[in-house]
Structure 1
Amino acid sequence: MKTGFVFSGQGAQYMGMGKDFYDSYAAVRETFEEASDAIGHDLVKICFEDENAIHFTPYTQPAILTVSHAIEKVALEEGLHSDMLAGLSLGEYTALVSGEALSFSDAVKLVHTRGTLMENAVPDGQGKMAAVIGLEASAVEELCEKVSKSHYVALANYNTPNQLVVSGSAAGVDRVADLAAKAEAKKVVELKVSGPFHSLLLEPAAEEFAQHLKSVEFSAMKKPVYSNVTAQQYPDSSAIPDLLTKQMVSSVRFEQMIRQMIADGAESFIEIGPGKTLKSFIKAIDRSVQPKNIEKPQQLLKLLNR
């Protein structure tokens, strides 16, 4: 039976995430130390002590990556295995580390830079994101197209058949939210993020990020890793810089990616990292695969039947 590991994205963070693993496993403490050294900021303080820092994008991204990678390390040491890998947005970096295409230290530095560029990409108040629940993708795409004639807005995330995220100018997102409500969307929720991620408003940030990617060495992948941009396996490691650059300004095709993994033989999924958002998304995409999640040691022990 093939198992897919999927890794948490931004928005899953909370103060104290990973603390139980940190207290119980030396390998987790070593991972935190390596990450802190890589970016020159104390990840222990950020994750366990500072409510503001954990939600500041330049810190949030390395923090989630560190917690997810550390938990996976323990899971593998304890006997779990994966056959294919993916993540939501930021989580794709954890997947690339897991697939040994990217060193953990380089990944932490990259997402710290990525978070900083994303945080500063658009002046405060000029861009936003919102989740639209209860409308199909084609309906939301039509709304974005209609509104974009006057205010830029785009479909940023295909999370499930009935949960989509729009991103763009504040006026554009607000207008889509109004129209979605009139079209009988169940709910429209503004996201607590610091900018219009996965939209063309991040193009200058993506161009700058592409320069940082040039200095990083990528290795051959040991397992299939799936791209948010294409919803397909990376063909090889030479495609990584281009697809990670595009990911900042492109739709995250999570639903299509999970369906492709199932088509490629995945029969079970384990979400690794803070929260259980991806587990709930996968359930909404295909109930037959019965996803699990690991964010606490007892969940890992249960999966191992201990």
Structure 2
Amino acid sequence: MKTAFVFSGQGAQYLGMGKEFYDTYASARAIFDQASEALDLDLAEICFNDEKKIHLTPYTQPAILTVSHAIAAVMGEEGIHPDCSAGLSLGEYSALVASGGIGFKEAVRLVHKRGSLMEEAVPDGEGKMAAVIGLDAEAVESICTSVTENNYVTVANYNTPSQLVLSGTAEGVEQAMKLAEERGAKRVVELNVSGPFHSQLLEPAAQEFSEVLSQQTFNPLTIPVYSNVTASAYPDSGAISHLLTEQMTSSVRFEQMIRIMAEDGVERFIEVGPGKTLKSFIKAIDKSFKPSNVEKPSQLNKLLEKSSG
């Protein structure tokens, strides 16, 4: 059965994430140690005990990457390997690590830098993000077009056919939220994030990050990795630097990416990392998909029982 690992993005973090894997598997602890060494800080302490830092973007991003990679490594030891991988925004880095395209320690440093640049890109209060539930892409795009005549707003995420995320100036997002409600959205929810991610407002941060990526060595991909920007598989590792730069300012085409993966023969989607948001997105994209998620050893054991059964 062709299996895809799909890796969690920012927003999935919570205090204690990954602790059961850390306590149970020496290989998971070793991965936490590598991440701590790469950043010269105690990542296990942040993940398990630091209620403040776990929600600060420069720490959140390496923390989620570390938890996701530790779980994927244990799954590999237990004989569950991906045939391809993808992730939501930050999760694409975990997907590239799973493919061998980026070394784990290098990825930890990259996402720490990425998180810092994203956090600093737009002054506090000047940008916002909001989720729109119950309108299709065409309706939300049309709202963005009408608002952007005066205040910039764009679609940051195509999560499911009826859940999209807005990003832009504070005024632009507020106007778009009102319009979405007027046009029949079931719910419109402002997101608790530190900036207008996946929008052109992050262009200065993307330019700076591009410089960082240009100094990085990337390796050949051992399995296909699907890009948030194009929704298709990376052509080769030569595209990594360009696509990760683009990803900061471009829409995350998660729904389109999952559909293309299914067209390419994926039959089993496993969300790897904290939370189960992507599992719920995949179910909403197509009810015939039966995704699972692994964030605790008990879920891995269930998956192993199914595989052996």
Aligned counterparts of 1:73 and 1:280: Cα–Cα separation in 2: 23
Residue 243 of structure 2 aligns with an amino acid whose one-letter code is L
So what's the TM-score if we normalise by structure 2?
Answer: 0.98
Matches within 5 A, 1:1-306: 1-305=1-305
SS of aligned partner of 2:168: strand
Aligned-pair CA distance for 1:79 = 1.0
Residue 112 of structure 1 aligns with an amino acid whose one-letter code is H
Aligned counterparts of 1:209 and 1:39: Cα–Cα separation in 2: 17
Aligned counterparts of 2:207 and 2:261: Cα–Cα separation in 1: 30
Residue 227 of structure 1 aligns with an amino acid whose one-letter code is S
Provide Cα deviations, 1:84-132, integer angstroms capped at 9, x if missing partner: 1000000000000000000000000000000000000000000010000
Aligned-pair CA distance for 1:286 = 1.2
Provide Cα deviations, 1:16-52, integer angstroms capped at 9, x if missing partner: 0000000000011110010011011210111001100
Aligned counterparts of 2:288 and 2:133: Cα–Cα separation in 1: 22
So what's the TM-score if we normalise by structure 1?
Answer: 0.99
Aligned counterparts of 1:162 and 1:243: Cα–Cα separation in 2: 26
SS of aligned partner of 2:267: strand
Residue 147 of structure 1 aligns with an amino acid whose one-letter code is V
Aligned-pair CA distance for 1:82 = 1.1
Aligned counterparts of 2:28 and 2:82: Cα–Cα separation in 1: 19
Identity among equivalent positions (%) equals: 66
Aligned counterparts of 1:226 and 1:289: Cα–Cα separation in 2: 18
Aligned counterparts of 2:29 and 2:192: Cα–Cα separation in 1: 29
Provide Cα deviations, 1:147-204, integer angstroms capped at 9, x if missing partner: 0010000000000000000000000000000000011100001111100000000000
Aligned-pair CA distance for 1:81 = 1.7
Provide Cα deviations, 1:282-305, integer angstroms capped at 9, x if missing partner: 000012120000000000000000
Provide Cα deviations, 1:185-236, integer angstroms capped at 9, x if missing partner: 0000111110000000000000000000011110110000000000000000
SS of aligned partner of 1:70: helix
Aligned counterparts of 1:200 and 1:41: Cα–Cα separation in 2: 32
Aligned counterparts of 1:83 and 1:287: Cα–Cα separation in 2: 22
Aligned counterparts of 1:237 and 1:40: Cα–Cα separation in 2: 28
Question: Any stretches of 5+ residues in structure 1 without a counterpart?
Answer: none
Residue 42 of structure 1 aligns with an amino acid whose one-letter code is D
Aligned counterparts of 2:215 and 2:301: Cα–Cα separation in 1: 40
Residue 284 of structure 2 aligns with an amino acid whose one-letter code is A
SS of aligned partner of 2:288: helix
Residue 276 of structure 1 aligns with an amino acid whose one-letter code is K
SS of aligned partner of 1:85: strand
Q: How many residues align?
A: 306
4+ aligned runs moved over 2 Å, structure 1: none
SS of aligned partner of 1:305: helix
Aligned counterparts of 1:82 and 1:27: Cα–Cα separation in 2: 18
Aligned counterparts of 2:170 and 2:143: Cα–Cα separation in 1: 15
Aligned counterparts of 2:233 and 2:80: Cα–Cα separation in 1: 22
RMSD between superposed Cα atoms in Å: 0.7
